């Protein structure tokens, strides 16, 4: 019998429609896989009773011949998306016990499409991290190992639980969010497909905020086709989100023609970082060759303000985070610290936030508060915003010159062992201040994120052997699909260490 956990969304959809499998049977197979895969620490809140109810309802829709593409498909939800009555903590102690009284727009749309939600997935606390180390639940574990070495590996972050669950066959797909690489980098580290849509394409309403001008939700799947199917259900205008794009949602799956003849792929000179390992450079070169063999034209381009992207990101993101996280005070929801006799409201704020936030979140809040202070607002925050405009202009000029997509390394360094990253929160924070290991792991993604481009990281045949990362392609903001630019070649190519942006 077919291993139901190995099915793609497209395969499961077809099998459900032709009645060779049922939604309850598929759901039970995934429940068994999740139970067996608990050592990976990918799922942090299991919703099996809800999943069984949804599977039965999906089967009734299938039997009636009224089934959308996702009807009966088991998926996982990153712990950043509010689900009514389901614990939603953003992997933080400060939201301990919080059960939202409402549903995020994304999960509501997935439910309407008939998806079966298996539970909430691990992540870095408030999406601040690139290794899943900062989670209050403990780190998720990459299901892959290097050949001949059983050392546990990080799945990346912040959507590490989503990436690990999809790669391990614990769900057929998962939601993720991307602020500075949090979909693309873990997709690259686990050999799956991750897509950060154009900013505004997917509603942010009901998603716990990190940096509001950068956050964007997207699909994490096993194939490019599956990403197209899931994005079609997630995307759409939402009047509850003032930044939501009022654009029709195209049929992304139908746009996967596989024909990239005549497309122009840009290779930015500035993305060749000092110290980039030969393995990453070789995979990047192989990606270029494969695209050229498929009929694309490869062109060297320049994105001159690239070197300023990382500093700008680490001003803008913490600034917005410090503002967004001010709402966690112990008064309205979540954890409240135990107070001593005589403590007032100020002591309650201080103790609650000190106990509730981990070291990395505290660090970013302090940085953000500093750059927003009266004496430094213009010197840091406003300057970073101006730099972001210049970075966006670089991408716009590249696309205006006829470039359809930009191929770059997603993580410019190989996947690190989890053991090498493990440490107390203080140790982790110290390592990141001195040497900024996290920045180097996500540098390629953070450079493009501020421009508002969509970005896709996809798998390649080389991934399993190298574990060197995945590829990414950046695309111009708008309603064209990366698949329309790269087609099926994206599945073959983008997944060396390559990411892409395109128009």
Q: Which residues, 6+ apart, have CB-to-CB distance to 179 below 8 Å?
A: 127, 158, 210, 211, 214, 215, 216, 317, 449
Q: Is 78 a catalytic residue?
A: yes
Largest Cα–Cα distance of the chain, in whole Å?
73
CA 444 to chain CA mean position, Å: 14
Q: Residue 162 and residue 155: Cα distance in Å, rounded?
A: 9
Catalytic residue among 104, 130, 182, 203: 182
Q: Residue 359 and residue 178: Cα distance in Å, rounded?
A: 21
Here the tokens at position 69 are 């593409």
Peptide bond into 387 cis (omega under 30): no
Catalytic residue among 130, 158, 232, 472: 158
Catalytic residue among 78, 120, 196, 263: 78
Alpha-carbon distances of 291 from 71, 260, 303, 473, 498, rounded to whole Å: 34, 8, 21, 12, 12
Stated as kind and residue range, the H or E segment containing 268 is: strand 264-268
Q: Residue 408 and residue 204: Cα distance in Å, rounded?
A: 27
Rg of the chain taking only CA atoms, in angstroms? 21
Q: Residue 142 and residue 138: Cα distance in Å, rounded?
A: 13
Counting every residue written for the chain, the total comes to 503
Q: Which residues, 6+ apart, have CB-to-CB distance to 26 below 8 Å?
A: 4, 7, 12, 16, 55, 72, 73, 74, 116
Residue for token pair 């970073």: 384
CA angle 319, 321, 324 (to 5 degrees): 115
Q: Residue 346 and residue 46: Cα distance in Å, rounded?
A: 36
Residue for token pair 């690190």: 416
Q: Is 112 a catalytic residue?
A: no
**3-state helix/strand/coil string of 59-119:** HHHHHCCCCCCCCCCEEEEECCECECCECCCCCCHHHCCCCCCCCCHHHHHHHHCCCEEEE
Q: Is 496 a catalytic residue?
A: no
CA angle 155, 157, 162 (to 5 degrees): 70
Write the Ramachandran bin of 119: left for phi over 0, alpha for psi from -120 to 50, otherwise beta: left
Cβ pair 123, 159 in contact under 8 A = yes
Here the tokens at position 431 are 């390592």
Residues with active-site annotation:
78, 158, 182
């Amino acid at each position: 019998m077919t291993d139901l956990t190995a099915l793609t969304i497209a395969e499961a959809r077809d099998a459900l429609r032709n009645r060779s499998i049922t939604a309850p049977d598929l759901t039970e197979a995934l429940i068994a896989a999740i139970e067996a895969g608990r050592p990976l620490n990918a799922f942090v809140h299991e919703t099996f009773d809800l999943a069984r109810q949804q599977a039965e309802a999906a089967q009734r829709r299938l039997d009636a011949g009224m089934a959308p593409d996702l009807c009966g498909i088991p998926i996982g939800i990153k712990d950043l998306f509010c689900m009514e009555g389901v614990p939603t903590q953003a992997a933080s102690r400060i939201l301990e016990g919080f059960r939202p009284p409402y549903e995020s727009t994304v999960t509501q749309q997935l439910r309407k499409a008939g998806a079966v939600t298996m539970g909430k997935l691990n992540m870095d606390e408030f999406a601040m991290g690139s290794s899943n180390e900062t989670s209050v639940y403990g780190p998720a574990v990459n299901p892959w190992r290097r050949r001949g070495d059983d050392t546990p590996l990080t799945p990346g972050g912040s959507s590490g639980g989503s990436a690990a669950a999809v790669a391990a066959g614990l769900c057929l797909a998962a939601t993720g969010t991307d602020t500075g690489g949090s979909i693309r980098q873990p997709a690259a580290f686990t050999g799956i497909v991750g897509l950060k849509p154009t900013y505004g394409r997917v509603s942010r309403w009901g998603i716990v905020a990190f940096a509001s001008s950068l956050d964007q939700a997207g699909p994490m799947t096993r194939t490019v086709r599956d990403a197209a199917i899931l994005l079609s259900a997630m995307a759409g205008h939402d009047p509850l989100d003032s930044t939501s794009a009022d654009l029709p949602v195209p049929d992304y799956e139908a746009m996967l023609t596989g024909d990239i003849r005549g497309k122009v792929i840009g290779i930015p000179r500035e993305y060749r970082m000092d110290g980039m390992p030969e393995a990453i450079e070789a995979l990047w070169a192989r990606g270029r060759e494969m695209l050229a063999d498929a009929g694309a034209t490869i062109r060297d381009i320049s994105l001159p303000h690239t070197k300023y992207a990382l500093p700008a990101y680490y001003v803008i993101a913490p600034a917005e985070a410090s503002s967004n996280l001010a709402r966690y005070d112990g008064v309205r929801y979540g954890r409240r610290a135990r107070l001593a006799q005589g403590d007032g409201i100020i002591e309650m704020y201080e103790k609650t936030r000190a106990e509730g936030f981990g070291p990395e979140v505290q660090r970013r809040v302090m940085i953000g508060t500093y750059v927003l202070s009266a004496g430094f607002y213009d010197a840091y925050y406003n300057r970073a915003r101006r730099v972001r405009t210049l970075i966006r202009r670089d991408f716009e000029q590249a696309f205006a010159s006829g470039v359809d997509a930009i191929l770059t390394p997603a993580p410019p360094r190989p996947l690190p062992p989890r053991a090498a990253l493990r440490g107390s929160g203080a140790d982790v924070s110290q390592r990141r201040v001195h040497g900024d290991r996290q920045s180097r792991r996500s540098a390629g993604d953070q450079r493009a994120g501020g421009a508002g481009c969509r970005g896709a990281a996809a798998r390649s045949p080389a991934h399993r052997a190298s574990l060197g990362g995945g590829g990414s392609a950046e695309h111009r903001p708008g309603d064209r699909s990366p698949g329309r630019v790269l087609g099926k070649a994206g599945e073959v190519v983008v997944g060396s260490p390559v990411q892409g942006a395109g128009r």
